[in-house]
Structure 1
């Protein structure tokens, strides 16, 4: 489809063109999610799809659109350093918007949400391309976008304490995954926000959260010598920051802050020496 059509859409408040079938437009946008051109990918495809979803354009087609995004999570999975990461990462972000829209319109069955959740979490823990920024191509951000999608999934009312506990374990698995890539492009904050979205349901008890924090802390190490240790430490710090300074106040907030303080104090004992 000629680029001028999308230029026209961007210049006219992202209105849906009336001279093309919606399915044709959607196919074009979905392909553009994998573009190495940041303008086509982020400023056009992502922006248009997210806006149309929020405006209700896809309300009757939400399940099919989300299925397409779920399929995009598998494209090139396992590759590192290739452009396929853009399609996977952007698909996760669009899926998050679909899940949030469903909170308003309740178009999806609980089974469909769980199906998407299985596919999403399966991709998230297996993603190998952890680049935050790709020179000349812009944001890859698979971990940040995946965290956003997990957080959106956690907001879904059909998920109970067991499913939310699984999501927390998925976040921990992602944080502790074997890698040489340090998460330095805002991913720890996005993972912390996803955690708080899950805790905001006020269903997961402290008896689950304390060992969850301890598990991440055990891999953090005292000096962040490895990427895994760095990532674990950074995520615990981010969660502590968001709990103490943020606006999200889950019921377990006070006790969870204490648990985090204990772990972070041990990890940073050298800095708190009396001398």
Structure 2
């Protein structure tokens, strides 16, 4: 077994004499650990660094991505959630994306029922946030239709029987949607029509406690309105405007208005 703490101490420089395929396999297995130090601080940090810096060669990216896509069916939430995070690194830093990964992600994301952000024993789980990161970068990839990711975001928002998100999952999903809305060539209809099912749900609300998924939706769309107004940060020094800024702002305002008719 590799001394990953020693590797961490060396800023995740690959250990001398180590076989990269074997080391990647070891890290992939560690990603399923219920121990957040093993999973997050060591395995994910090392693997993300190696993917980003090109230590993981091109020929290993697709087998690794296939493993992650298969993990959306795993029994453990940390395994499912961190699979999305690793796929996001592959897509965003190396530009590699396979249709089968998108299909697997789409089947999983809106259906995921364990939406805890942080657990005292398991650490960060963040299925909504990790999935949002992948959704946003898939929505920018040339091989993925942006409307498909916008519709998936709508489905995630409206999935019933969810807890109220508490660890900025709404902010992460809003930012992901905003990234997709910066996609060059996005049509005005695609930039706004994904909100139609959301509008229907919000307009049909009844008196009484606000359902969790409605609360999550409202907070996500309000953050999205702010982001669309200000521009979407896609890097440390890069803020990008959405393609149909005025139309999106108008549609968001119209969708949100029935919930608080007495306010504005």
Scaled by the length of structure 1, the TM-score of the pair is 0.85
Q: 2:40 aligns with which of 39, 42, 56?
A: 42
Aligned residues between the structures: 253
Runs of 5+ in structure 1 lacking a partner?
77-83
Runs of 5+ in structure 2 lacking a partner?
232-238
Map of 2:54 onto structure 1: 56
Map of 2:151 onto structure 1: 169
Map of 2:263 onto structure 1: 271
Q: Return the alpha-carbon distance in structure 2 between the equivalents of residues 192 and 176 of structure 1.
A: 14
Q: 2:210 aligns with which of 225, 228, 231?
A: 225
Q: 1:191 aligns with which of 170, 173, 182?
A: 173
- Shift of residue 222, structure 1, vs aligned partner: 7.7
Q: 2:110 aligns with which of 109, 125, 138?
A: 125
Map of 2:235 onto structure 1: none
Q: Return the alpha-carbon distance in structure 1 between the equivalents of residues 111 and 64 of structure 2.
A: 23
Which residues of 2 match residues 86-165 of structure 1 at below 5 A? 86-103=78-95, 108=96, 113-159=98-144, 163-165=145-147
- Contact preservation (8 Å) 1:219, 1:232: no
Q: What is the CA deviation profile of residues 124-160 of structure 1, one whole-angstrom value per residue up to 9, with x for unaligned ones? A: 122111111111321110111011111111121223x
- Contact preservation (8 Å) 1:217, 1:236: no
Scaled by the length of structure 2, the TM-score of the pair is 0.89
2:14 pairs with 1:16: yes
Q: 1:6 aligns with which of 4, 7, 17?
A: 4
- Contact preservation (8 Å) 2:186, 2:243: no
RMSD: 1.8
Higher helix proportion (structure 1 or 2): 1
- Contact preservation (8 Å) 1:34, 1:87: yes
Map of 2:25 onto structure 1: 27
User: Quick one: structure 1 residues 32 and 193, their matched pair in 2 at CA, closer, same or farther if it must change by over 3 Å?
Assistant: same
